[in-house]
């Protein structure tokens, strides 16, 4: 909450409503799904977990704060120890405020930028990127924002208040008044173009002070590039995709023979299957319980996963061949990768060396290049979602959180694994593909050390560690200097400062010193020998996967509401 702006806090307070609880009443029950956050105004409450007393909370404390971020089960029980008065707010209301204020601010900033000659011809998505890095800075009455003759590399737009422009005339010590500037006016634009000698004084002339939006030359230059270059890298993929679709056109659910379980996910199991009459190949069948999808309100995510994977045709992304559905389940028939999860290999080896980490990171970079060039954000990078194919190459799987964005736009949905979530996601500021570069840095750290850099005993503690930033993290000695520099460049707090998101795009990552000498062409052409070669004896060999017990839950409830008609 301490990261909120004053206008956001005011709107949130206006949305809150009072609730009163008598002594002994349960305010939050462990295990319940919650969407309400409370602030305690009067009284005190007791916190317990599994019937064990943990602590007493007094007025001013926030209760159930995880619910403000996402739909989750309560991790503790909170009971009124005395008569209590609380103020409550629903997640939907909070997130609507955050999204609306974010969009309003973005629109206001881009409008300011459009009035500046050097910005007016830039594409909309570039203006949005610049608006994201503008820092609002306050100056008190009488402050010199710019001094004549000084060197500077900063550009300013006034967002509130007035300044006066003065100039010292030749052969005189007096400052001559030139004009007054107010909201929407700008100065210092020449500094962005390299002319850094200030030609006048800019002095705050407002009893309430001045607020200005500020950007420096380095940040500006990192963001500006020729964004009209259109990638033609994957021009043949539509044709390849059609061939795939035709190959599975007549396959039905009854044609599939289940062999064994490869994994268990949030909505069901992933089974290794074969198609009758095709003994030389095997596939992965992801089964998802429809009732559970509806209960957790994940319908849109599942439909998005089907759409994105169904269109994707990349060697570093697991292929989706066909989907099926019945009254109880949705099914996705996918490429089988029998090398197992990268997480399992990491667990068994405890950590990877530089060369091994470099290879797997490069595979993810190729997958991200494919997705990001199509404005698709992945949002769920972690070792569990990286599968080794039979040759040892890594592929992205599980696109439940992936989303196609409009050019230059953001999304506000809170999702992802706590240890991998970017700061702007936690702060509800809106996020885009830059959040994937943050997670790439986290992945590198985990592969090199065996554990992610940001980890607390519960999600909220993890989020607070993330908000302290990567510079607060101690790097083990086994991480080389170049690897550390790359991780820190990927995990910048400001999304616009992250390597991969600047004007050079994802190529900046490929060109980083840590990748010096790496054979990118060999990776793409699959002529590079992977660092770990999985043992796969046959198309039905599941020895690289953990063993799972038989599902004894019985069939899930039917769902015939029709929300999945397009699946």
89-93, 223-227, 315-319, 493-497, range with the lowest pLDDT? 223-227
Q: What percent of the chain has pLDDT over 90?
A: 61
- On average, the pLDDT of the chain sits at 89
User: Considering the domain boundaries, does residue 481 fall inside one?
Assistant: yes
Binding site members:
262-270, 286
Q: Are residues 374 and 313 in the same domain?
A: no
Q: Do strands 45-49 and 77-80 pair parallel, antiparallel, or not at all (unpaired)?
A: antiparallel
pLDDT, tens digit, 9 for 90 and up, residues 273-309: 999 999 999 999 999 999 999 988 889 889 999 999 9
CATH classification of the domain holding 296: 3.30.200.20
Binning pLDDT at 50, 70 and 90, where does residue 241 land? Answer: low
Strand, coil or helix: what is 503?
coil
What span, in angstroms and rounded, lies between the C-alpha atoms of 204 and 5?
23
Higher pLDDT, 346 or 5: 346
83 is known as an active-site residue: no
Structure tokens at 322: 């066909």
**Residue pair 365/296 in contact by the 8 Å Cβ criterion:** no
> For residue 229, is pLDDT > 80?
no
Q: Measure the CA–CA gap between 563 and 567, rounded to whole angstroms.
A: 9
Encode pLDDT of 89-99 as tens digits.
Answer: 998 898 888 88
pLDDT in tens, 536-547: 999 999 999 989
* Whether 152 contacts 196, CB under 8 Å: yes
Which CATH number does the domain housing residue 405 bear?
A: 1.10.510.10
> pLDDT grade, residue 314 (50/70/90)?
very high
| Model confidence pLDDT, tens digit, residues 483-498 | 999 999 999 999 989 9
| pLDDT over 50 at 234, yes or no | no
* Residue whose entry in the numeric block shows the structure tokens 């007094």: 58
| Local confidence band at 43 (pLDDT 50, 70, 90 cut-offs) | very high
pLDDT beyond 70 at 235 = no
Indicate if 21 and 145 belong to the same structural domain: no
Q: What is the mean pLDDT of residues 61-65?
A: 89
- pLDDT, residue 150, reads 87
Whether 254 and 174 map to the same domain: the answer is no
With contact defined as beta carbons under 8 Å apart, do 217 and 192 qualify? yes
Q: Is the pLDDT of residue 236 over 70?
A: no
Look at 6 and 46; give whichever has higher pLDDT: 46
Supply the range of the domain harboring residue 213.
116-224
CA separation for the pair 429, 104 (Å, rounded): 12
Whether 407 and 344 map to the same domain: the answer is yes
Nearest one of 563, 564, 439, 409 to 500, comparing CA atoms: 439
* Segment among 190-194, 333-337, 348-352, 531-535 with least mean pLDDT: 190-194
- pLDDT at site 230: 28
- pLDDT at position 34 over 60: yes
Q: Select from 185, 202, 224 the last residue of a domain.
A: 224
Q: Is the pLDDT of residue 531 over 80?
A: yes
pLDDT of 427? 87
pLDDT of residue 233: 40
Mean pLDDT for 336-346 is 96
CATH assignment of the domain containing 65: 2.60.120.10
Nearest residue to 372 (alpha-carbon basis) of 505, 216, 222: 505
Catalytic residue among 206, 380, 559, 564: 380
For residue 547, being part of any structural domain is answered with no
> What is 185-208 written as a DSSP string?
-EE-GGGGGT--B--SEEEE--TT
Q: How would DSSP label each residue in 276-342?
A: TT-TT--EEEEEEEHHHHHHTT-HHHHHHHHHHHHH---TTBPPEEEEEE-SSEEEEEEE--TTEEH
Same domain, 131 and 184: yes
Please tell me whether residues 286 and 250 are part of one structural domain. yes
User: Which residues, including other chains, have CB under 8 Å from residue 396's CB and lie 6 or more apart?
Assistant: 316, 317, 318, 364, 367, 378, 381, 385, 386
If asked whether residues 377 and 448 sit together in one domain, one would say: yes
Please, what's the b/e burial string for 526-545 (b: 16 or more CB within 10 A of its CB; e: otherwise)? eebebeeebebeebeebebb
Spatial neighbors of 559 by CB under 8 A, at least 6 apart, are 290, 291, 294, 327, 328
Determine which of 141-145, 385-389, 427-431 has the lowest per-residue pLDDT on average.
427-431
Note whether residue 549 is domain-resident: no
Annotated binding-site residues for ATP read 262-270, 286
Residue 519's contacts (CB-CB under 8 Å, 6 or more residues apart) are 528
If asked whether residues 244 and 297 sit together in one domain, one would say yes
Pairing of strands 283-289, 269-275: antiparallel
Residues 428 and 355 in one domain: yes
d(CA 91, CA 77): 19
How high is the pLDDT of residue 164? 94
Is pLDDT larger for residue 476 or for residue 197? 476
The mean pLDDT of 218-247, rounded to a whole number, is 56
Mean pLDDT across the stretch 441-470? 94
State residue 228's pLDDT score.
Answer: 34
295 within domain boundaries: yes
**pLDDT > 50? residue 143:** yes
Look at residue 118 in the predicted model and tell me its pLDDT: 73
3-state secondary structure 524-562: HCCCCCCCCCCCCCCCCCCCCCCCCCCCCCCCCCCCCCC
Classify residue 446: in a domain, yes or no: yes
Is residue 560 one of the residues assigned to a domain? no
Residues 171 and 23 both lie in one domain: no
Same domain, 376 and 246: no
Which of these ranges, 175-179, 471-475, 521-525, has the smallest mean pLDDT?
175-179
Q: Has residue 558 got a pLDDT over 50?
A: yes
Burial class (CB in 10 A: 0-12, 13-18, 19+), 509: buried
In a domain, 551, yes or no: no
Domain boundary among 195, 224, 253: 224
Instruction: Quickly list DSSP for 382-411.
Output: SGGGEEE-TTS-EEE---TT-EEPPTT--B
| Whole-angstrom distance, CA of residue 416 vs CA of residue 409 | 19
183 and 247 in a single domain? The answer is no
Decide if 330 contacts 390 (C-beta within 8 A).
Answer: no
What is the rounded distance in angstroms from the CA atom of residue 256 to the CA atom of residue 274? 6
Give per-residue pLDDT as tens, 381-394.
999 999 999 999 99
User: What is the domain count for the chain?
Assistant: 4
In a domain, 563, yes or no: no
Specify burial of residue 361 (Cβ count, 10 A radius: 0-12, 13-18, 19+): buried
Tell whether the model's pLDDT for residue 100 goes beyond 60: yes
Q: What is the CA radius of gyration of the chain?
A: 27
CA distance 564 to 558: 13
Averaged pLDDT, 130-134? 85
More confident of the two residues 193 and 82: 82
């Amino acid at each position: 909450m301490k990261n909120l702006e004053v206008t956001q806090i005011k709107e949130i307070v206006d949305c809150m409503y009072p609730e009163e609880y008598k002594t002994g009443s349960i305010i939050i029950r462990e295990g319940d799904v919650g969407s309400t956050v409370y602030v305690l105004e009067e009284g005190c409450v007791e916190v317990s977990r599994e019937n064990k007393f943990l602590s007493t909370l007094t007025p001013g404390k926030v209760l159930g704060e995880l619910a403000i971020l996402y739909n989750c089960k309560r991790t503790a029980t909170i009971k009124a120890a005395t008569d209590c008065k609380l103020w409550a707010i629903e997640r939907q209301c909070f997130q609507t405020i955050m999204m609306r204020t974010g969009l309003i601010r973005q629109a206001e900033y881009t409008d300011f930028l459009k009035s500046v000659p050097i910005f007016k011809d830039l594409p909309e998505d570039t203006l949005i990127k610049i608006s994201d890095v503008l820092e609002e800075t306050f100056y008190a009455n009488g402050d010199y924002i710019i001094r004549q003759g000084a060197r500077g590399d900063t550009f300013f737009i006034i967002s509130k208040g007035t300044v006066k422009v003065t100039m010292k005339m030749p052969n005189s010590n007096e400052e001559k008044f030139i004009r007054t500037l107010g909201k929407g006016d700008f100065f210092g634009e020449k500094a962005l173009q390299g002319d850094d000698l200030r030609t006048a004084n800019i002095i705050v002339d407002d009893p309430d002070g001045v607020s200005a939006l500020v950007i420096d030359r380095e940040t500006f230059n990192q963001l500006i590039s020729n964004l009209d270059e259109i990638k033609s890298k994957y021009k043949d993929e539509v044709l390849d995709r059609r061939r795939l679709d035709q190959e599975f056109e007549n396959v039905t659910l009854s044609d599939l023979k289940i062999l064994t379980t490869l994994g268990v996910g949030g909505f069901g199991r992933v089974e290794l299957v074969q198609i009758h009459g095709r003994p030389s190949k095997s596939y992965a069948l992801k089964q998802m319980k429809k009732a559970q999808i509806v209960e957790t309100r994940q319908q849109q995510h599942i439909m998005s996963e089907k759409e994105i994977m169904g269109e994707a045709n990349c060697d570093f992304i697991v292929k989706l061949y066909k989907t099926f559905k019945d009254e109880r389940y949705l099914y996705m028939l996918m490429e089988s990768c029998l090398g197992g999860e990268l997480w399992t290999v990491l667990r068994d080896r405890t950590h990877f060396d530089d060369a091994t980490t470099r290879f797997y990171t490069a595979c993810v970079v190729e997958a991200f290049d494919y997705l990001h060039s199509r404005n698709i954000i992945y949002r769920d990078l972690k070792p569990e979602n990286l599968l080794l194919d039979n040759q040892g190459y890594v592929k992205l799987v599980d696109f439940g959180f992936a989303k196609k964005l409009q050019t230059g736009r953001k999304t506000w949905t809170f999702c992802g694994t706590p240890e991998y979530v970017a700061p702007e996601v936690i702060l509800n500021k809106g996020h885009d593909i830059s959040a994937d570069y943050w997670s790439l840095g986290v992945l590198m750290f985990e592969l090199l050390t065996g554990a992610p850099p940001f980890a607390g005993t519960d999600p909220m503690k993890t989020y607070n560690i993330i908000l302290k930033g990567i510079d607060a993290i101690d790097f083990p000695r086994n991480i080389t200097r170049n690897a550390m520099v790359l991780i820190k460049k990927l995990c910048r707090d400001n999304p616009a400062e992250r390597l991969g998101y600047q004007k050079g795009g994802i190529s900046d990552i490929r060109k980083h010193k840590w990748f010096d000498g790496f054979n990118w062409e060999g990776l793409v052409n699959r002529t590079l020998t992977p660092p770990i070669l999985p043992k796969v004896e046959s198309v039905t060999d599941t020895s690289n996967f953990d063993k799972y017990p038989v599902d004894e839950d019985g069939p899930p409830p039917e769902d015939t509401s029709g929300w999945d008609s397009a699946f």
